[in-house]
Structure 1
Amino acid sequence: MDALFRKRIGLSEEEPITFEKLDEVLEKTARTIPFENLRIMNQETFDITNESLIDKMLARNEGGLCYELNGLLYLFLLENDFDVTLVRGDVFNSDTGEWTKLGRTHVAIILRHEGQDYLVDTGFGGNLPLKPVPMNGEVVTSSNGQFKVEASKSDYGDYVLTLKLADKDKDWRIGHIIDSKKPVKNLSEFNEIQKVLIEDDRSPFNKGPILTKFTDDGTVSLTNKTLTRWIKGKAHKEKISEKAFHEHVKKDFGIIN
């Protein structure tokens, strides 16, 4: 799948993937493989396996949610000899001031390099660090803002990602928590996550289509009612029709829906 992944994100087949190269890998991934829930909304989900993730996102050029996006990236990093582990956690809802309490339905990656653990996440919508974030409280700055990961004692996990998005957040806010002590043993665990996100009334992903992708100037986000482009720190939002929605799915996200 290494060659397929490189082709999808526009990365040279010959170039070695070093730790220093990961910033570019994460940037390219965020700009080419969208965060989206169309299969959930269309009731066309499937069992999560290595093969099904590769087929969905590399053969069919679709996107996915956190367990799919980070599951695929994990397979690519593993194939390129990185020391990586998949972990689960919970997302913080800034509107309610609480964790989603959907169980550990967020998926991210812990990467160990030269004795240091880093959080790697390409499945958090428009909140992506776009760089590996050291899990020691050090602040990392990217084009998308500032990010840090700190140890935290909680019923929901033991490391918290906090962030301050460029041109959006005035103060630091909690993004999500991960549980490093309970690594994912098999991708089949993601079927449980998928089932919760499909069936639970509190799930944000069974209410309507959501698509987000990074662009050269910011991000583009789409629902069945609005199209929002963040361009150089400014939001441009417009209402759209159902017909226009399907056109934008294809035009802006490259998905045949």
Structure 2
Amino acid sequence: MDHTRVTEYLARLGTPRPAAPDLAALRTLQRAHPMAIPFENLSVRLGEPITLTEEALVAKVLDRRRGGYCYELNGAFAALLTALGYRVELLSGRVLARGGAGLPFDHLALRVWLDGEAWLVDVGFGQLSAEPLRLAERGEQQDAFGTFRITEHLPTGVSGTTTDPLPDLDVAQDGEVQFRLDQRPYQLTDFVPACWYQSTSPDSPFTGRTLCSRLTPQGRETLVGGVLIRTVDGEQTREELTTAEEQRSAYRELFGIELTLDEVKRLS
């Protein structure tokens, strides 16, 4: 990513260019990302191809003013962080939250190295931690979005500790494991088959309903089909948007996404 694209990306996030690739700047960038760029599956629902290259992901975020799901959001964010001087690696996760089966590569998360310490960074899970988590920490980590704990996953029949030099890591939020991380670094191309599956399979959680969601300073705004869900200071309200024009306006005004009326009707 060149200097111009970095400037455009930071402008969309509403953050200044970091003076150095340090932890304070990383925290600021991670907090800003889900407020500026929505988690959404519109491409999946509209049958648009999802291309896992840095150029395509950044173009979707900057030129089309869109968001995406984990492969897209964390893929684009990785490109930004790398351009800012961070050492970033892509990790494969298996989603286990809410009893999920957890297929390999069904989640893409980021490992960022700072002064020899590894941090888990994730802006593509809907709502994980607000700030980076220490991957080596085995105690509780307090965050604005809950209490997190990262533990080594022990294979069946193994107790205590494992001798595997790179054991999988279970990432739990408020006592519930969200996903299991493979600690080996991967490339974007390694996620292509899983991304295709998630965007086409009737068994995928992304093909059955339309979702667009963005954090706000007071909570979250989410459009699920034609239902607008607003959370403000822990209080939730629901509003039925009955016409395509109402939904189109919500996409534009709440998420900055321009859609045609035909596209909105196809998303309903």
For Structure 1 versus Structure 2, the TM-score category normalised by the shorter chain is 0.7 to 0.9
Distance 1:91 1:105 in 2: 7
Which of 154, 169, 178 in structure 2 is aligned with 1:159? 169
1:174-205 CA-partner distances (Å, limit 9, x unpaired)? 11111012x212x2233222210122222110
Contact 1:54/1:72 (<8 A) preserved: yes
The alignment's TM-score, normalised by the length of structure 1, stands at 0.88
Count of residue pairs brought into register by the alignment: 243
**Corresponding residue of 2:129:** 129
**Corresponding residue of 1:205:** 206
Distance 1:192 1:252 in 2: 32
Contact 1:229/1:236 (<8 A) preserved: yes
Matched, 1:253 2:255: yes
Contact 2:27/2:132 (<8 A) preserved: yes
Identical pairs, percent: 26
**Corresponding residue of 1:239:** 240
The alignment's TM-score, normalised by the length of structure 2, stands at 0.84
Which of 165, 170, 177 in structure 1 is aligned with 2:180? 177
Contact 1:110/1:120 (<8 A) preserved: yes
The DSSP-based 3-state class of the residue aligned with 2:177 is: strand
Q: Cα offset for 1:103?
A: 3.2
**Corresponding residue of 2:160:** none
The DSSP-based 3-state class of the residue aligned with 1:137 is: coil
Change (3 A) 1:81 1:203: same
Change (3 A) 1:192 1:14: same
Which amino acid is 2:57 matched to?
A: L
Matched, 1:63 2:73: no
Which amino acid is 2:7 matched to?
A: A
1:106-154 CA-partner distances (Å, limit 9, x unpaired)? 00001122232211100011x2201110112243333222222222135
Ranges of 4+ aligned residues in structure 1 off by more than 4 Å: none
Q: Cα offset for 1:28?
A: 0.8
Matched, 1:54 2:58: yes
Change (3 A) 1:93 1:132: closer
Which structure has the larger Rg over C-alpha atoms?
2
Query: Within 5 Å, which residues of 2 pair with 1:1-257?
Result: 1-13=5-17, 15-94=19-98, 97=99, 99-125=100-126, 127-135=127-135, 136-154=137-155, 158-164=168-174, 172-181=175-184, 183-185=185-187, 187-243=188-244, 244-257=246-259
Distance 2:257 2:183 in 1: 34
Q: Cα offset for 1:246?
A: 2.1
1:23-60 CA-partner distances (Å, limit 9, x unpaired)? 21111111001100101101112322111011100121
The DSSP-based 3-state class of the residue aligned with 1:153 is: coil
CA RMSD of aligned residues (A): 1.8
Distance 1:46 1:30 in 2: 20
Q: Cα offset for 1:239?
A: 2.3
Which amino acid is 2:220 matched to?
A: T
Change (3 A) 1:154 1:52: farther
Distance 2:121 2:197 in 1: 23
Distance 1:105 1:130 in 2: 21
Gapped regions of structure 1 (runs ≥ 5) = 165-171
Distance 1:113 1:153 in 2: 27
